């Protein structure tokens, strides 16, 4: 008997649970009680949770902890973590206390630039597209002024727009690449709105251009307009340092010099060996993901970008370095 259903999203939350229990748990009402046991006691708060996503049945709890004693750029912080893996918070707290006695963490925002693309195919000569691009570039920038006004007031906006030729990788495939300064904002809606506007102008101007034949004009197809989560120019540097003698811990036979040498070599291995780099970077992301989740942000975007950045040279490498 099929378990397919139409109109599931239109059922009440109770109706969805009843269907689920009937179809997959032999009508065991104890499963309903189990799901309800994770509901928030305040119905208004629970309603907020219900409305985050579609087809909500209950809440998924994760341990929420904190790691105190972080000193970052001379300021004391207590960092929130939401994670199911034991020892991550303990290790972070221990590291925080250790480095707090040695000047703490030094961080610097190197750049906050983001990128987005209008992906399109066009069965025409690339050089003609390039000429067309320079003809309409100013209009593309000028006619998005209303979309960028607020961001420009905060010191951001469009930095540049480029035509990218990808026809060697995929027949007729090209991009309009936008480069943006979004300051402290993630900028997704800002970037995507600009890309959609550019797409509209691009098609309108192409239709009116004398550079292309009617068949060429008809062949222009915009595939999608979307920001990229790969942001290699949106970079923060964090570092710690101490004298090698401070690395002696007293609980094993390693001297400080030997410990430092092994530590440096372990990082170097992760820089050149993808098998080790994958596990090395997973350990880094243990802490980063936990903080991103605890602060209600998109850990999938952070993960995707971090691993793409780790492979930016053509080989997957360590995200950290040691000198």
pLDDT at position 31 over 70: yes
Instruction: Say whether 141 sits in a helix, a strand or coil.
Output: helix
CA separation (Å) from 152 to 148, 155, 158, 182, 265? 6, 5, 8, 9, 46
**Residue 253: predicted pLDDT:** 81
CATH (residue range 111-227): 3.30.70.420
Mean pLDDT of the chain: 96
pLDDT digit string (tens) for 222-239? 999 999 999 999 999 999
Q: Are 190 and 178 in contact (CB under 8 A)?
A: no
Q: How confident is the model at residue 1 (pLDDT cuts 50, 70, 90)?
A: low
Question: Which helix H or strand E contains 301, and what residues bound it?
Answer: helix 299-310
**Interatomic CA distance for residues 228 and 301, integer angstroms:** 10
pLDDT digit string (tens) for 136-170? 999 999 999 999 999 999 999 999 999 999 999 99
Q: How confident is the model at residue 186 (pLDDT cuts 50, 70, 90)?
A: confident
**Burial class of residue 148 (count of CB atoms within 10 Å of its CB; 0-12, 13-18, 19+):** middle
pTM: 0.91
Q: What are phi and psi of 287, to 5 degrees?
A: -75, -40
pLDDT at position 249 over 80: no
pLDDT at position 251 over 90: no
**Interatomic CA distance for residues 240 and 105, integer angstroms:** 5
| Domain residue spans of the chain | 8-50, 62-105, 111-227, 246-323
pLDDT at position 21 over 70: yes
**Residue 3: predicted pLDDT:** 83
Mean pLDDT of 2-29: 93
């Amino acid at each position: 008997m099929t378990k397919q259903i139409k109109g599931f999203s239109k059922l009440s939350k109770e109706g969805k649970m009843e269907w689920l229990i009937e179809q997959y748990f032999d009508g065991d009402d104890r499963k309903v009680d189990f799901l309800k046991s994770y509901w928030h006691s305040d119905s208004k708060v629970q309603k907020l949770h219900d409305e985050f996503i579609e087809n909500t049945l209950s809440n998924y709890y994760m341990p929420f902890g904190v790691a105190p004693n972080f000193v970052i750029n001379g300021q004391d912080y207590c960092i929130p973590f939401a994670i199911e893996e034991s020892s991550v918070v303990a290790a972070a707290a221990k590291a925080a206390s250790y480095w707090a006695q040695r000047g703490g963490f030094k961080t610097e925002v190197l750049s906050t630039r983001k990128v987005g693309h209008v992906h399109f195919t066009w069965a025409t000569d690339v050089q003609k597209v390039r000429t067309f691009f320079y003809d309409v570039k100013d209009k593309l920038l000028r006619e998005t002024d209303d979309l960028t006004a607020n961001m420009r007031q905060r010191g951001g906006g469009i930095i540049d727009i480029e035509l990218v030729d990808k026809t060697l990788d995929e027949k007729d495939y090209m991009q309009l690449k936008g480069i943006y300064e979004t300051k402290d904002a993630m900028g997704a809606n800002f970037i995507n709105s600009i890309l959609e506007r550019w797409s509209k102008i691009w098609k309108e101007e192409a239709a009116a251009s004398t550079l292309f034949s009617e068949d060429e004009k008809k062949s222009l197809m915009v595939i999608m307009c979307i920001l990229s989560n790969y942001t290699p120019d949106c970079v923060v540097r964090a570092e710690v340092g101490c004298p090698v003698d401070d690395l002696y811990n007293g609980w094993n036979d390693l001297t400080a010099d030997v410990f430092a040498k092994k530590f440096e070599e372990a990082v170097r291995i992760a820089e050149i060996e993808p098998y080790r780099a994958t596990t090395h970077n997973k350990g880094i992301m243990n802490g980063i993901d936990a903080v991103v989740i605890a602060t209600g942000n998109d850990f999938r975007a952070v993960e995707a970008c971090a691993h793409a950045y780790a492979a930016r040279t053509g080989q997957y490498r360590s995200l950290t370095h040691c000198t």
